[in-house]
């Protein structure tokens, strides 16, 4: 388990991290979210000992030393591949940095390339690959040494939905194998789909923490999705409805000022008769992100 306790980091007068604390248990995925400059990369670099910080970071109750680095897989947001190397050379080079031999890694390369549907041959140079295939090679290099702790910073960058799904399945598989995973993305749908829990940073501070369900539920079930023959004008006149958004023909999103009004609105809309859809939900993670990113949390 990864444990981060009260870490602080200043760059001159800027507080990049201000008493940040969270845990990532074995076999769980934690989503670390926030706007650009919120402190996500500084957190990653602190875990990896790329910079000095105040506070405590431990892996299985022990400090993170050079020996632990062999158990870590890190996928940075920026591509860090060497364009003149072949796929095979690149994967073996990075694996050897994790104390794996070429003899051990070389037989695995074709299987991993097939698993991620990499177009090309292991002898192809990195520079000749598409951006999507380069991203796949980078992820293979992150996972092939079977790390126990994995840091993924925008892993789906440059991938279409089909290829993104291939990577999602791989991430879920390593979670099932017991890895502790930190996943960062600006796509809240991916965070909601993959993550067991999340931490949101704003200006270096933790402003949200908990399971995805706990975080969403804490904002109240203030959204109702309804499909009916009611018009938008009629829906806007209902009690406790403060906004109506048309989603598609005859389907609307109602924003409430009180989640407890749901039962009353259900009765008003149905009068005991069939209605195609009435679904009361908390705000989506994307809506919460927008609310908290722009809020004054000082």
Output phi, psi for 86, to 5 deg.
-80, 165
Strand partners, 281: 223
Entry pTM: 0.86
What pLDDT does residue 295 have?
58
Q: What share of the chain is helix, strand, coil (3-state, %, to 5)?
A: 35, 30, 35
| Angle ∠(117,165,217) on CA atoms, nearest 5 | 165
Q: Are 182 and 151 in contact (CB under 8 A)?
A: yes
Strand pairing class (180-184; 149-153)? parallel
pLDDT digits (tens, 9 = 90+) for 230-241: 999 999 999 999
Instruction: Using alpha carbons, select from 294, 224, 238 the residue that is nearest to residue 268.
Output: 238
User: Residue 240: helix, strand or coil by DSSP?
Assistant: coil
Q: Are 123 and 86 in contact (CB under 8 A)?
A: yes
pLDDT tens, per residue, the chain with 298 residues? 999 999 999 998 899 999 999 999 999 999 999 998 899 999 999 999 999 999 999 999 999 888 888 899 999 888 789 999 999 999 999 999 999 999 999 999 999 999 999 988 999 999 999 988 999 999 999 999 999 999 999 898 878 899 899 989 999 999 999 999 999 998 999 999 999 999 999 999 999 999 999 999 999 999 999 999 999 999 999 999 999 999 999 999 999 999 999 999 999 999 989 999 999 999 999 999 988 886 554 4
Strand pairing class (72-75; 149-153)? parallel
Q: Are 75 and 157 in contact (CB under 8 A)?
A: no
Look-up of token digits 């939905």: 161
Count of Cβ atoms closer than 10 Å to residue 96 Cβ: 14
272, two tokens: 């005991």
Q: Where are the alpha helices (DSSP H) in the chain?
A: 40-47, 66-69, 87-97, 102-105, 109-115, 131-143, 161-176, 188-194, 212-217, 232-236, 262-270, 285-293
What pLDDT does residue 118 have?
93
What pLDDT does residue 298 have?
41
């Amino acid at each position: 388990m990864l444990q981060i306790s009260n870490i602080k980091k200043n760059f001159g007068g800027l507080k990049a991290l201000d008493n940040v604390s969270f845990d990532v248990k074995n076999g769980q995925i934690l989503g670390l979210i926030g706007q650009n400059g919120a402190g996500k990369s500084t957190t990653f670099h602190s875990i990896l000992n790329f910079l000095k910080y105040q506070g405590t970071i431990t892996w299985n109750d022990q400090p993170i030393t050079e020996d632990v680095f062999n158990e870590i897989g890190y996928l940075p947001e920026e591509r860090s591949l060497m364009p003149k190397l072949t796929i095979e050379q690149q994967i073996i080079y990075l694996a050897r940095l994790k104390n794996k031999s070429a003899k051990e890694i070389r037989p695995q390369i074709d299987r991993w390339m097939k698993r991620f549907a990499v177009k090309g041959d292991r002898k192809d140079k990195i520079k000749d690959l598409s951006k999507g295939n380069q991203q796949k090679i980078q992820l293979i290099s992150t996972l092939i040494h079977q790390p126990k702790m994995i840091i993924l910073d925008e892993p789906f960058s440059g991938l279409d939905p089909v290829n993104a799904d291939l990577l999602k399945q791989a991430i879920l598989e390593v979670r099932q194998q017991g890895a502790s995973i930190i996943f960062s993305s600006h796509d809240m749908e991916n965070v909601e789909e993959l993550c067991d829990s999340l931490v949101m940073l704003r200006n270096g501070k933790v402003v949200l923490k908990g399971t995805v369900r706990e975080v969403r539920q804490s904002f109240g079930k203030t959204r109702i999705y309804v499909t009916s023959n009611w018009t938008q004008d009629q829906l806007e006149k209902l009690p406790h409805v403060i906004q109506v958004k048309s989603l598609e023909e005859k389907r609307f999103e109602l924003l409430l000022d009180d989640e407890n009004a749901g039962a009353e609105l259900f009765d008003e809309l149905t009068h005991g008769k069939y209605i195609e859809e009435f679904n009361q939900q908390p705000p989506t993670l994307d809506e919460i992100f927008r609310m908290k990113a722009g809020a004054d949390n000082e």
